[in-house]
Amino acid sequence: MTSITLALSKGRIFEETLPLLAAAGIVPAENPECSRKLIIGTNLDDVRLVIVRAADTPTYVQYGAADLGIAGKDVLLEHGGAGLYQQLDLNIARCRLCVATRKGFDYATAVRPGGRIRVATKYINTAKAHFASKGMYVDLIKLYGSMELAPLVGLSDAIVDLVSTGGTLRANGLEEVEEIMPISSRLIVNQAALKLKRDLIKPLLDVFQRTATGI
């Protein structure tokens, strides 16, 4: 029997995907927050979920280890999108990718063409492209989390990070100085799987699309 595998990350993406799955008649057999299982069955014999780190979702789908996945646009931009088909905007896990600095840092002067800035981020590719488009020199420092600390201890002038309420920035004396782009999560599909398992995948895409756009 053919079956399909959907890659999801724990936390907000899993939580916000549940209603979309429900609309497609899919109910996970377990909650990954409580279970240590990485492969989770559903009420449908031919649909299973794999629980991956958010930044790994495009990789599982690219290589066909998962047929479909749900990943933030931030993660997809860094990955580059090779081997992935369709980026249906599900309008979930919404936030924005921003530049933030310490309060009082003169960002306007730093970003003049020819200017130079030290930026800490986990979004190296996206940050590089952003500052290059402004004609600036940028020294990028790769971090894996808690980016807010970097400007406070002199590791960088600025950070490129996701912001939703801005509470974490404020709590650490930082301020948002530029929005790079709005972010939401997308459904991605392995190109070969879409052709080979179209009968299973296409109806799911249709339900997700209708539910996400409220039609």
Q: Does 185 bind ligand ATP (CB under 6 A)?
A: yes
Which residue number is nearest to ligand ATP in terms of Cβ? 72
Confirm or reject binding of residue 99 to ligand ATP (CB under 6 A). Answer: no
Stretch that binds ligand ATP, among 17-25, 32-40, 69-77, 150-158 (CB under 6 A): 69-77
| Residue 66 CB neighbour total at 10 angstroms | 26
Give min distance, CB of 36 to ligand ATP, in A: 15
Q: Looking only at residues 147 through 166 of this chain, which bind ligand ATP when binding is defined by CB under 6 A? A: 162, 164
In angstroms, give the least distance from the CB of 163 to ligand ATP.
7
Instruction: Name residues whose C-beta falls within 8 Å of residue 108's C-beta, 6 or more positions apart in sequence.
Output: none
- Binding to ligand ATP by CB under 6 A, coded x per residue (else -) over 35-64, reads -------------------xx---------
Whole-angstrom Cα distance, residue 197 to residue 81?
20
Size of interface with ligand ATP, in residues (CB under 6 A): 17
For the beta carbon of residue 30, count every other beta carbon within 10 angstroms: 15
For position 5 contacting ligand ATP by CB under 6 A, the verdict is no
Among 7, 26, 52, 75, binds ligand ATP (CB under 6 A): 75
Residue 194: exposure state from Cβ atoms within 10 A (0-12, 13-18, ≥19):
middle
Q: Which of residues 111-150 bind ligand ATP (CB under 6 A)?
A: 145
Determine if 95 is a binding residue for ligand ATP (CB under 6 A). Answer: yes
The beta-carbon contacts of 115-121 under 8 Å, at least 24 apart in sequence, are 117/157, 117/158, 118/155, 118/156, 118/157, 118/158, 119/156, 119/157, 119/158, 119/159, 119/160, 120/147, 120/150, 120/151, 120/155, 120/156, 120/158, 120/159, 121/147, 121/159, 121/160, 121/161
Q: Closer to ligand ATP by CB, 117 or 212: give it.
A: 212
Burial group, residue 130, by CB count within 10 angstroms (0-12, 13-18, 19+): buried
By CB under 6 A, name the one of 5, 9, 17, 42 that touches ligand ATP.
9
Contact positions vs ligand ATP (CB under 6 A): 9, 11-13, 54-55, 72, 74-75, 93-95, 145, 162, 164, 183, 185
